[in-house]
Amino acid sequence: MLRTRVLTAVILAPLVVWLVWGAPSWVLGTAVVAVMAAAGWEWSRFAGLTACRGRAVYTLACALACGLAWAAAAVVPRGGVLAGITLGWWVLPVARLAVFARSRGRLPAHDGFDGLAGVATLAAASGAIMVVAMQAPAAPVWLTALLVLVWGGDIGGYFAGRRWGRRRLAPTISPGKTWAGVGGGMALGLAAAAVVAVLGDWIPGDGWLPLSPWLAVAGVATIALSIVGDLFESMLKRQRGLKDSGQMLPGHGGLLDRIDALLAAAPVVAVTAFALGGGVHA
């Protein structure tokens, strides 16, 4: 299983790097909407939809919402405001997670909320990614920081949790997650982001991240909310009795199982890019 996961990641990584560093914004936007639409197909089961027609309509709704978020990123004159809106959405999923935890896992699924949450979550992540790509200074560096924070946090959390995991983080939501995993994810994610910041400082022009204590704080917040995104999807799967969101990625399960953390982390990085990036569009 681990070998298959690594092979899938190795195949997809060059494409992701090209989309961030070499592709025109319209290509990146098209790819983002396509990925989010595929994720919407998986999320449709969280909305209680089982028939192909209903799932297809839901997928189309997600694609349209993500397309509108992309359009907003292109025309809204103050990108920092749009970034803040995408982050503000996460107040509701966090509140729902808190209620679920207090209920000791007995809070039932809600088709309406869970369906709307999928559309809003995917659209918010699309808007956050695209507003950075289209308006933020040093956009490729910020997007790379997003990816390494999420991937580093995921990898560090996986191995640290397996090696030292004892105390569970949220047993009623995701029994496999531990506080040791959180620590390992924070350590590796922040270390990887620091490397990106240092390397980005060598790039001529605006290709830099502002090395400051606030950047470290933002990194911690990004990884923390990425864990929330992971837990939110785990809660939805638990309520529906699902082990994986799907089978799109060999060795990884569903697409949502791989991007759930990124969906929550993207708005944090977007806000940080405009708050600390020194851009005129904030």
pLDDT number for residue 1? 54
Q: What is the mean pLDDT of each run of 10 residues along the chain (282 residues)?
A: 65 89 94 97 95 97 98 92 96 94 88 96 98 91 92 91 89 90 94 81 58 86 96 94 78 81 96 74 38
pLDDT computed for residue 2 by the predictor: 56
Cα–Cα–Cα angle for 155, 158, 161, nearest 5°? Answer: 140
CA end-to-end distance (rounded Å), the chain: 44
- Evaluate whether 94 touches 37 at the Cβ level (below 8 Å): no
| CA atoms in the 13 A half-sphere facing the CB of 168 | 8
What is the secondary structure of 29-59 as a DSSP string?
HHHHHHHHHHHHHHHTTTTT--SHHHHHHHH
Structure tokens at 199: 């390397």
Q: What are the tokens at 238?
A: 């638990």
Query: 179-200 and 213-240 are packed helices; what angle lies between their axes, rounded to 10 degrees?
Result: 140
Domain boundaries, the chain: 19-276
Residue 271's pLDDT is 95
